[in-house]
Amino acid sequence: MSTLDKESTGGAQAPAGDPRRWKALAVLAAIQFMLVMDVTIVLVALPEIDKDLTFNPKGDLAWVINGYVLMAGGFLLLGGRLADMFGRRRIFMVGVICFGVASATCGAAMSSGMLVSSRFVQGLGEALCGPAALGMIPILFPDARERMKALGVWGGTAALGGVIGSVVSGALTEYVDWRWIFYINIPIAVAALILVPRVMPESRMEREGRSVDVVGAIAITGGLVAVVYGLIKAADHSWSSSTVLIPLLGGVGVLLLAALWEVRTPDPMVPIRFFTNRTRVTSNVVTLALLASFHCYAFLLILYMQQVLDYSAIKSGMAVVPLAFAMGAGMGAASALMPRIGVKAVLAIGFGGAAVGLFVASTLEADSSYVGGVLPGMLVFGIFSAMCYPALVNGALYQVTGKDSGLASGVQTAMQQIGGALGLATLVPVAIRYTTDHIGEGVLPTVAQSDGASRAFRIGAILVAVAAALVVALMQKVDATPRNVLAEAESGDETVAQPTATGATT
């Protein structure tokens, strides 16, 4: 490896015995919790937001969510590469500032346009700070055994954020004001800005003689934005409509052209070598299936409880608290099992169990009780889906050099965003269309709605089961030994750090 690709670290480094690395992880995890929570926290509050700001009935309200997803999903790869090149701590702080300021303007929004535009900026903030934060973990934790634990904490915190968002949103919307679902981000952002320079080292790849791949950056970002936009529009338009097909096909075409460019340019934004590792590629592909199924489940479950079981916003929010506990248990199990049986085995168990959980959830009926109908599927799906998150992050960062940690983080985070958009664009419409068609045939609305949700859950279960098969068939088994990312980067050695424990396999 040439000196151009060496890892450069500035400021105080965090050696293996330095307790600051755990403080830094706490700050990074808090920000990730905030970012993920912000995707779901808006869902419960949408009716109140609509009342106050009077959105256009043609679907503008959906852009409170879609604007965030579009910017985050489209710019994550660029954000990750910028962090590698210009400094992960620096880009992280820029992203946090961007997110915090946008949160303040969201809360203070006096019109629908002000809120939606602020959500776009929030999404851009995530695209900058999310990959930069995750990319710091291999640097903060050079020992593979500690790194596996740290990535488990990271993945678990992110998963819990999605669940807790519904609870927090229900409480704030019902007892305070919907604006506080955005204002609560501000103290977290301020605390991060104060603490980050004290506990986190700066790190970047050496840029001597290197240039920013402007063509690749524009093409990849533009292609991703187009694909995510097409998926968003597929939620309320036919897949054969031009509104969906033009951005989807156009985005894929631009991404293919970008791949051709990246192969030929001497200094690509996304090196093709990054996608040659099948464990890393498999981890990112199956992330799509898990996140699509999870977002579909969470969205339709809230609708089922509010519209079929007639729960209030706060009651439906509190009803998903057991899901958070189940996910906490699943993440704890994954963190304990990964060093012993490896990432691949944990993923196979997690995806297989999650598929079973969704099949159990699909038995919901219009007259199901909470304890007998909702809770069993929630607990099984929560435990096993949560086992996947820490393992997926470990797999996505498998054999990633220090110079590419931000890029790898951007790819994994982008897959999570795109997976969520895919679930809302494909699985949720399956339920909605089934419900609409059967109500038109004279079926009771509550019966049609519960049957529609059950159908979507079964499809999600099949997707997750296929993902489990891909994990078993494609992921590698590689004996791992602890490696030191910083030492390898500074020595110029091309060898890579493996995020697995001694004697474990991935």
What pLDDT is attached to residue 483? 42
Which pLDDT does position 490 carry in this prediction? 42
The sign of the torsion formed by the CA atoms of 17, 139, 33, 360 equals negative
Residues 314 and 302 in one domain: yes
125, 155, 127, 161: which is closest to 40 by C-alpha? 161
Rounded to 10 degrees, the C-alpha dihedral 396/401/406/407 comes to: -70
- Tell me how far CA of residue 198 lies from CA of 24, 130, 195, 202, 403, in angstroms: 9, 19, 5, 11, 23
Whether residue 227 sits in one domain with residue 175? no
Q: What is the dihedral of CA 437, 439, 444, 446, to 10 degrees?
A: 70
- Among 79, 100, 104, 103, smallest CA distance to 91 is for 79
SS3 call for 388: helix
| Predicted pLDDT at 484 | 43
The 10 Å Cβ neighbour count of residue 395 is: 30
Q: Which of 253, 268, 283 is the last residue of a domain?
A: 268
SS3 478: coil
Quick check: helix, strand or coil at residue 238?
Answer: coil
Locate 359 and state its tokens.
């099949």
Q: For residues 159 and 115, state if they share a domain.
A: yes
Alpha-carbon gap, residue 347 to 395, rounded angstroms: 9
- In sequence order, the β-bridge partners of residue 333 are none
Q: 91 with 217, same domain?
A: no
Q: How many H-runs (helices) and E-runs (strands) does the chain carry? A: 18, 2
- Judge whether 167 and 180 are in contact, CB under 8 Å: no
d(CA 202, CA 217): 23
Chain centroid to Cα 171, Å, comes to 24
**Among 240, 268, 296, which residue terminates a domain?**
268
- Distance (Å, whole) CA 423 – CA 456: 10
Residue 97: inside a domain, yes or no?
yes
The pTM assigned to this predicted structure is 0.76
Cα–Cα distances in Å, from 239 out to 223, 242, 272? 18, 8, 31
Are 170 and 139 in a shared domain?
yes
Q: How far apart are CA 347 and CA 385, in angstroms?
A: 9
Quote the pLDDT of residue 387: 92
Residue 506 lies in a domain: no
Q: What is the pLDDT along the chain (506 residues), one digit of tens a residue?
A: 333 334 444 444 444 445 678 888 888 888 888 887 777 778 777 778 888 887 776 557 778 887 888 888 788 878 888 888 888 889 999 999 999 999 999 999 999 889 999 999 998 998 898 888 887 887 788 777 777 778 777 766 766 776 677 777 778 877 888 899 899 999 989 988 998 888 777 766 655 555 667 888 888 888 888 888 888 787 677 788 898 899 999 999 999 998 898 888 877 877 777 778 888 899 999 999 999 999 889 888 988 888 889 888 778 778 888 988 898 889 888 888 888 888 899 999 999 999 999 999 999 998 899 999 999 999 999 999 999 988 888 888 887 766 677 777 778 877 887 888 778 777 888 888 888 888 887 788 888 889 999 999 999 999 999 999 999 999 876 443 334 444 444 443 333 333 333 333 34
Q: Which residue has the tokens 């750090």?
A: 497
What is the total count of domains within the chain?
2
Tokens describing residue 80 = 């990750």
The contacts of residue 256 (CB under 8 Å, 6+ apart) are none
Q: Which domain holds residue 445?
A: 13-204+269-491
Residue 74 and residue 56 in one domain: yes
Q: Is residue 3 part of a domain?
A: no
* Long-range Cβ contacts of 263-270 (<8 Å, 24+ apart): 265/213, 265/215, 265/216, 267/210, 267/211, 267/213, 268/213, 268/216, 269/77, 269/78, 269/81, 269/212, 269/213, 269/216, 269/217, 269/220, 270/77, 270/81, 270/216, 270/220, 270/407
pLDDT at residue 388, rounded to an integer: 92
Contact indicator for 24, 146 with CB cutoff of 8 Å = no
Q: What angle do CA 470, 472, 477 make, to 5 degrees?
A: 120
Enter the tokens of residue 228. 């995510």
Asked if 419 and 325 sit in the same domain, the reply is yes
* 186 falls within a domain: yes
Which residue, 232, 247, 268, sits at the end of a domain? 268
Q: Are 120 and 233 in a shared domain?
A: no
| Beta-carbon count within 10 A of 487 CB | 13
pLDDT on residue 206: 56
User: Do 412 and 393 form a contact (C-beta atoms < 8 A)?
Assistant: yes
Q: Are 195 and 27 in contact (CB under 8 A)?
A: yes
Please tell me the distance from the alpha carbon of residue 497 to that of residue 488, in angstroms, as a whole number. 8
**Encoded amino acid at 467, one letter:** A
Q: Single out the residue of 89, 121, 83 nearest to residue 102, CA to CA.
A: 121
Check whether residue 73 and residue 182 sit in a common domain. yes
Give the CATH number for residue 122: 1.20.1250.20
Instruction: Copy the structure tokens of residue 233.
Output: 């529009």
Asked whether residue 175 falls in the same domain as residue 317, the answer is yes
Residue 456 counted as domain residue: yes
Task: Say whether both 294 and 179 belong to one domain.
Answer: yes
The answer on 390 and 473 residing in a single domain is yes
8 found inside a domain: no
User: What separation, in Å, do the N-terminal and C-terminal C-alpha atoms of the chain show?
Assistant: 25
